[in-house]
Structure 1
Amino acid sequence: MASGRWWRRAASTTWRSLTVWAAGTLTMMVLAGLLPDFQLQSAGGDSLTRVAVTAALGAGAFAVLSALVWPLLVRALLLVPALVLGLVVFFLNGALLLVALRLVPDGRGQVSPETAVVVAAVMSAVASATGGALAVRDDDAYRRRLYRLADRRRRRGPEGGTCPPTPGTVFLQLDGVGHDVLRRAADSAVMPTIAAWLRDGSHRLTPWRTDWSSQTGASQLAILHGSNHDVPAFRWYEKDTGEVQVSNRPTSAAELQRRAARHTGDDGLLTLDGASRGNLFSGGAQQVAVVLSVAARRGKENRSRSGYFAYFCDPANAVRTALSFCAEVGREIGQSTRARLRRKRPRVGRGGLYPFVRAFATVVERDVVVAAVIGDMLAGRSAVYADLVAYDEVAHHSGPGSRDAEKVLARLDRSLALIEKVAEHAPRPYRIVVLSDHGQSPGETFRTRYGLTLQDLVRAGCGLPVPRAARRTHSGAEARAAVRAALHRPVEQAQETAVRGSRRRREPIVLASGNLGLVSFPDVPHRMSREEIDARHPALLPTLANHPGIGFLLVRSERHGAVVLGAQGAEVPLGELVDDKGPLAGFGPGAADAVRRTDTFPHTADIMVNSWYDPDDGEVLAFEEQIGSHGGLGGAQGRPFLLSPSALSAPVEDGTDLVGAEQVHRVLRRWLREGDGPQVPLTESRRIPRENSR
């Protein structure tokens, strides 16, 4: 029996190889007839049979070189930035064709270098389409073909060992997609796969509420590692180390992951046969690809880029993704030009390198991550967590409800449909859970509305010089007037004094995370009190609290402990803070608890600044150049979703809210234990001794 299956498999493989070879030969002959710089015959001319033989030899040599040399070339380029790799592969493919034609006897194959790139791209695409069409008819071949797209280090399932019959779980994070955005996309058929899951009752949709820091660094760290303690924002200054931590910086991501593991005593959600793909953090998985917290590792086996190698080692994938990349760059240029010509508001700059950054996030990273997930499923891994960042990137610059972002949602839905289809070929059943880490709130930028940045406003409140353009704005004039009133002297004199004093002490550090701002005084080793801030800069807190673009401030008081400040002298001790009243009016349920929790963090800034929020239209004012933002309190940014199979237990009891990313982590842990799946205790999975965790 085994011998018979081997012969059938060998015969099937041979047939597919010959068919793909024939398709490549025919493609080469057609291109030779269409392209003047591509010849498959001698100067005196040859018969059609001779041309066909030359084409067959060239196509065969190109196929062999692609199979043998291409993976080595891509591996050698692993240290090249991924964005560059996605472009270089286009030209390497053409170089392989040049080499292949030189191997044809009698020098009948001639092509110019620029034409070789086009010919190689077309041939790779045809070979991929032909091979894929043939493989779909054969379940085993289809499984093997998709499996080659991803990491091959660990093989399980029918070809590499016994795969357990218990269900595996795939967690797919749609970065930045809010609950209401997903619901609208499903109702309007923008995401038909999601709509079908909800319509047939196979999945349930549950909103959840983020912490004050509504951004990927805090949410995903807690979802994967169980804790986001002491993560006050996307970026923040730490006085004890003198460093700025940035969630999407590899060294910071690695440090945050270590801190979370030390805090919980647990490596993470994915420690038992898990895989982490495209995330900021590993979740304790041994199988990682395109994971930022391991990106600082260097060497031959740079595991953070293993996913790029697994994908680009197939030249057909490289060509297809490169073409999609170029199309996305053109799409972004066209969309931004149209928005500029129509004078669309709000709008931010989308020039420079942004079209390439967007194309990388929406095409390259999506293709690599989806391919890695497919490989994990076909390898039978128990738990996979992957982040698809396409929507978040586009919504920041085009707006969360824009047509541009809607088109990205439609393409993400097709990726979900593909993964659902692959699950039918997997060696074990899979439960597909889709979730988001936060939403996005619309609104113009703080600088667009008021003509100055948060840093300009802080400097004005401190009596420090601000850019001349900011001083000329109405908001800048108001800030200078507040300084003059507080100091009882001309603002110019206050600025002059501050300039002289800045030589003796460092200026404040102002950082922005969406519509959340952080102000720190680096020369003071502890968290400054309100009284200390007033003694040094009497106008700063009134200037900030009374500005129309500011919602509220959090500072520490020597008399009352932490207090929240609002406009017109509003001051509420943290213990008396309640939702939807006082400075938090309109910010919704859970705002007070979120502020209280952040106040307990060791690295909370001297002044935490949350922007103005309009509950009627859900708009905030971003302190960064984004018209779709997240990071603070206010609107859809704090309301992501959890879409889970109905076969799993409900995330929370009816009438109970799902609050905080740490609670989401506990829900996912519970699901991994259900259905006789992998046993992942809440506190005992690969525990780390707290004293040795560093």
Structure 2
Amino acid sequence: MGRGLARVIAVWAVSTLTMLVLAGALPDFKLQSDDGDSATRIAVTAALGAGAFGLLSALVWPLLVRALLLVPALVLGLLTFFLNGSLLLLALRLIPDGRGDANAETAVVVAAVMSLAASATGGALAVRDDDAYRRRLYRLADRRRRRDAGAHRPSTPGTVFLQLDGVGYDALRDAVRKGLMPTVGRWLGVPERPGAPAPRPTHRLTPWRTDWSSQTGASQLGILHGSNHDVPAFRWYEKDTGEVMVSNRPACAAELQRRAVARTGHGGLLTADGASRGNLFSGGAEQLALVLSVAARRGKEHRSRAGYFAYFSDPANAVRTALSFVAEVGREIGESTRARLSGRRPRVSRGGLYPFIRAFATVVERDVVVAAVIGDMLAGRAAVYADLVAYDEVAHHSGPASGDAEKVLRRLDRSVALIAQAVEHAPRPYRLVLLSDHGQSPGETFRARYGLTLGDLVRAGCGLPVPRRARRTLPPAPGSVRAGEDPPGAEARGAVRAALHRPVEEGPGERPPRRRAEPIVLASGNLGLISFPDVPHRMTREEIDRRHPALLPALANHPGIGFVLVRSAERGPLVLGAHGAEVALDELGDAPTPAALGPLADFGPGAADAVRRTDSFPHAADIMVNSWYDPLDGDVLAFEEQIGSHGGLGGAQTRPFLLWPRALTPPVADGAELVGAEAVHQVLRRWLREDQGLDVPRVTPADDRLPDGPAPTAFPASGQVVQDKTQ
């Protein structure tokens, strides 16, 4: 009690001194009457103002944040300054005789500086007094325990699954080797500096291989719910409904989760006393914050922004995050300006709203999710799964190995360290598991290299009008032409030139009448999907050739295309490549040779299985296209405007990581490979059973854990995937 009172007095004294300094430095901020006051009187006025501001921050601020939960989180972060300034103005009005005064702009500055000073003082005192810090954490835990009164808190270890979005296996190893992630390095037994003794390793690291769709929607759905069947890409067209599904739309995420639950018959990985933080899907957890699949559902308990309340209810947290947000916006503008002035290549546009989107992902989302995870640990929850998206967002625009991305990895390591430090204050032991959902592959965009988009190429192959830029000569892939040979893509350029003899699109009024529905072309990183909406079924290769004889040759022979998947009525799934190469997937043996794999040979031994599985999906596109891939440099060509991309096959994007405590059993047997997000789900379920004896319960369609949506439908069996050989 005495130490707690001493800390309050210390924070009050620092806040008073800060207010005095600001009153002397800012001409529009005063703490005395118009006739002037003695130094003692001014000090008393500052003490009264600081005390009133501290009380208002503790009592009124949480109510303000709760009242503003309906405000978008990005706007709430910006409003933090003005709300804090309003509290300061109110505190100044409470000073007797009207001795405190400030205009609105000055009040915002004073409130921000005072909140940071108070937070820094309180944090420093807590760090110096370990017992006080421990008591504070336990008070937070007790508050959560009272809210969850009656819940059984076993002494068995809980598990925190922390997803570092987009951080590939090789990217993590390089970051540890460079000293960018010292916390992870200590877990792996890596010395912090050359010559230093190696710490005792506590974790093991292994890669795993994604499905063809190497993106968060497919991977996280498979990891959390045990099935990513019929998720061919990040976005795809469904002919039966006429809708484009996009994984990060709330309604689509809810439908994907509903389908997964209907297929597996259980609610998800987190059904038993779990928490889901910052994810696309809930995993069946009852404790939710910033979960997209429930964002469209009504009800206070499912309000998508409710997860911000616990963090922003502390004004010091709010101000610190808001200042970091502004600093991150400035950092992004400065970095993108330097990249543009230096002529750095490859490069994509980073203007518009992107600086604010980046700042939200790297600051606000990170801070809120980390605070929520620590709160879950203090509450003793059995399983927590959280996603930190910062690296993925920055790597898309700056490159996976850029200096910008490395700075983000440093901050992510600090976030991991904060969560690890909370373990000793939790009411139960915890296992910390780090993993990623995919990696990122570098490379310039398809449009930057060839001057046209995948959509332009498809339209040309279909004989439809295209923009003038598509008339440019298509360059061959670098280093792929030998003397005396026709350059790769010659057939494609001939097809495009022939198609371009049709009218070129000049303007809205000059397009010819449309006789057929135009193809829908969608991109997911370096994976392209082409669908013909006027044909109700999936078109066969024979039907496409009859309708658009130049299309498949134009795609397969283009130097920027690695391979094309199409279904033949006679031979089943076919992979097409340059110079007439064809591979019938159903005719491949169990161990096909590189020659037999044809266009798939450069993409690794598991490429054929991944493509075959996607071909089995009911909503696979009529034509699926994977970009060119350089196996030496690991580069791909994104069909989106990204210089770090993922979504298809090729390079680091398909090689995420799994980092687990040595106390748990290995994910797979020695020499085996962990393949597919569904297999990762089985491993995580096994670990929960080992530590807690828990398994996810079965559910029925009437179970209230099912997301809102139509009644479940039946789906055909999934394609073959390599299963965990230790099961």
Q: Which moved more, 1:513-522 or 1:103-112?
A: 103-112
| Structure 2, unpaired ranges of 5+ | 190-199, 476-488, 704-709, 714-727
Mapping of residues 341-352 of structure 1, within 5 Å: 341-352=341-352
Give the letter for the 2:36 counterpart: G
Residues in 2 aligned to 1:311 and 1:484: alpha-carbon distance in whole angstroms:
59
Q: Which moved more, 1:198-207 or 1:292-301?
A: 292-301
Q: In structure 2, which of residues 564, 580, 584 is the aligned counterpart of residue 573 of structure 1? A: 584
Give the letter for the 1:492 counterpart: R
CA drift at 1:110: 1.0
Q: In structure 1, which of residues 167, 171, 177 is the aligned counterpart of residue 167 of structure 2? A: 177
Residues in 2 aligned to 1:507 and 1:434: alpha-carbon distance in whole angstroms:
44
C-alpha change, 1:495 and 1:191, in structure 2 (3 Å) is: closer
Counterpart for residue 222 of structure 1: 222
C-alpha change, 1:503 and 1:96, in structure 2 (3 Å) is: same
CA deviations 1:451-476 (Å, max 9, x no partner) are 00000100111111111122234369
CA drift at 1:188: 1.4
Counterpart for residue 532 of structure 1: 543
CA drift at 1:290: 0.6
Identical positions, percent = 78
Counterpart for residue 599 of structure 1: 615
C-alpha change, 1:101 and 1:116, in structure 2 (3 Å) is: same
C-alpha contact 1:257 1:281 (8 A) present in aligned 2: yes
C-alpha contact 1:147 1:374 (8 A) present in aligned 2: no
Counterpart for residue 694 of structure 2: 679
C-alpha contact 2:466 2:504 (8 A) present in aligned 1: no
Counterpart for residue 429 of structure 1: 429
CA drift at 1:678: 4.5
Give the letter for the 1:61 counterpart: A
CA drift at 1:589: 2.1
Counterpart for residue 154 of structure 2: 164
Q: What SS does the aligned partner of 1:46 have? A: coil
Counterpart for residue 44 of structure 2: 53
Counterpart for residue 321 of structure 2: 321
Give the letter for the 1:360 counterpart: F
Mapping of residues 114-513 of structure 1, within 5 Å: 114-137=105-128, 141-143=132-134, 145=136, 155=146, 163-199=153-189, 200-298=200-298, 300-474=300-474, 481-483=494-496, 491-492=501-502, 503-513=514-524
Residues in 2 aligned to 1:77 and 1:689: alpha-carbon distance in whole angstroms:
33
C-alpha contact 2:163 2:388 (8 A) present in aligned 1: yes
Q: Which moved more, 1:565-574 or 1:513-522?
A: 565-574
Matched, 1:78 2:91: no
Counterpart for residue 89 of structure 1: 80
C-alpha change, 1:369 and 1:80, in structure 2 (3 Å) is: same
C-alpha change, 1:678 and 1:39, in structure 2 (3 Å) is: farther
C-alpha change, 1:533 and 1:143, in structure 2 (3 Å) is: farther
Q: In structure 1, which of residues 660, 663, 673 is the aligned counterpart of residue 676 of structure 2? A: 660
CA drift at 1:302: 4.6
Residues in 2 aligned to 1:530 and 1:440: alpha-carbon distance in whole angstroms:
31
C-alpha contact 1:143 1:426 (8 A) present in aligned 2: no
C-alpha contact 1:512 1:518 (8 A) present in aligned 2: yes
RMSD: 2.4
Give the letter for the 2:168 counterpart: G
Residues in 2 aligned to 1:609 and 1:206: alpha-carbon distance in whole angstroms:
29
CA drift at 1:338: 1.2
C-alpha contact 1:273 1:285 (8 A) present in aligned 2: yes
Q: What SS does the aligned partner of 1:619 have? A: coil
Counterpart for residue 661 of structure 2: 645
Q: What SS does the aligned partner of 1:279 have? A: coil
Give the letter for the 2:653 counterpart: Q
Residues in 2 aligned to 1:98 and 1:394: alpha-carbon distance in whole angstroms:
38
Matched, 1:560 2:571: yes
CA deviations 1:637-680 (Å, max 9, x no partner) are 000000000011001110000000000000000001113x1411
Q: In structure 1, which of residues 541, 544, 555 is the aligned counterpart of residue 555 of structure 2? A: 544
Q: Which moved more, 1:557-566 or 1:387-396?
A: 557-566
CA deviations 1:146-170 (Å, max 9, x no partner) are 578899666489x987632111100
CA drift at 1:584: 0.5
Residues in 2 aligned to 1:512 and 1:144: alpha-carbon distance in whole angstroms:
52
CA drift at 1:104: 0.8
Residues in 2 aligned to 1:483 and 1:358: alpha-carbon distance in whole angstroms:
38
| Structure 1, unpaired ranges of 5+ | 1-7
CA deviations 1:304-358 (Å, max 9, x no partner) are 2122111111110111001111111111111111111111111111111111111
Counterpart for residue 722 of structure 2: none
Q: Give the paired residue count.
A: 676
Give the letter for the 1:521 counterpart: F
C-alpha contact 1:214 1:632 (8 A) present in aligned 2: yes
CA deviations 1:393-440 (Å, max 9, x no partner) are 011011111111011001100111111111111111110000000000
Residues in 1 aligned to 2:214 and 2:146: alpha-carbon distance in whole angstroms:
37
CA drift at 1:18: 2.6
Residues in 1 aligned to 2:273 and 2:513: alpha-carbon distance in whole angstroms:
55
Q: In structure 1, which of residues 33, 44, 47 is the aligned counterpart of residue 35 of structure 2? A: 44
Residues in 1 aligned to 2:490 and 2:239: alpha-carbon distance in whole angstroms:
32
Residues in 1 aligned to 2:99 and 2:152: alpha-carbon distance in whole angstroms:
51
CA drift at 1:64: 1.7
Residues in 2 aligned to 1:659 and 1:565: alpha-carbon distance in whole angstroms:
24
Q: What SS does the aligned partner of 1:572 have? A: strand
C-alpha contact 2:467 2:504 (8 A) present in aligned 1: no
Matched, 1:28 2:19: yes
Give the letter for the 1:393 counterpart: E
CA drift at 1:287: 0.3
Q: What SS does the aligned partner of 2:268 have? A: coil
C-alpha contact 1:151 1:372 (8 A) present in aligned 2: no
Give the letter for the 2:553 counterpart: P
CA drift at 1:579: 6.7
CA drift at 1:551: 0.5
CA drift at 1:16: 2.6
C-alpha change, 1:149 and 1:455, in structure 2 (3 Å) is: farther
C-alpha contact 2:574 2:585 (8 A) present in aligned 1: yes
TM-score normalized by the length of structure 1: 0.93
Residues in 2 aligned to 1:613 and 1:78: alpha-carbon distance in whole angstroms:
45
Q: What SS does the aligned partner of 2:220 have? A: helix
C-alpha contact 1:480 1:491 (8 A) present in aligned 2: no
Residues in 1 aligned to 2:561 and 2:641: alpha-carbon distance in whole angstroms:
16
Residues in 1 aligned to 2:306 and 2:712: alpha-carbon distance in whole angstroms:
26
TM-score normalized by the length of structure 2: 0.89
Residues in 2 aligned to 1:641 and 1:149: alpha-carbon distance in whole angstroms:
33
Mapping of residues 618-633 of structure 1, within 5 Å: 618-633=634-649
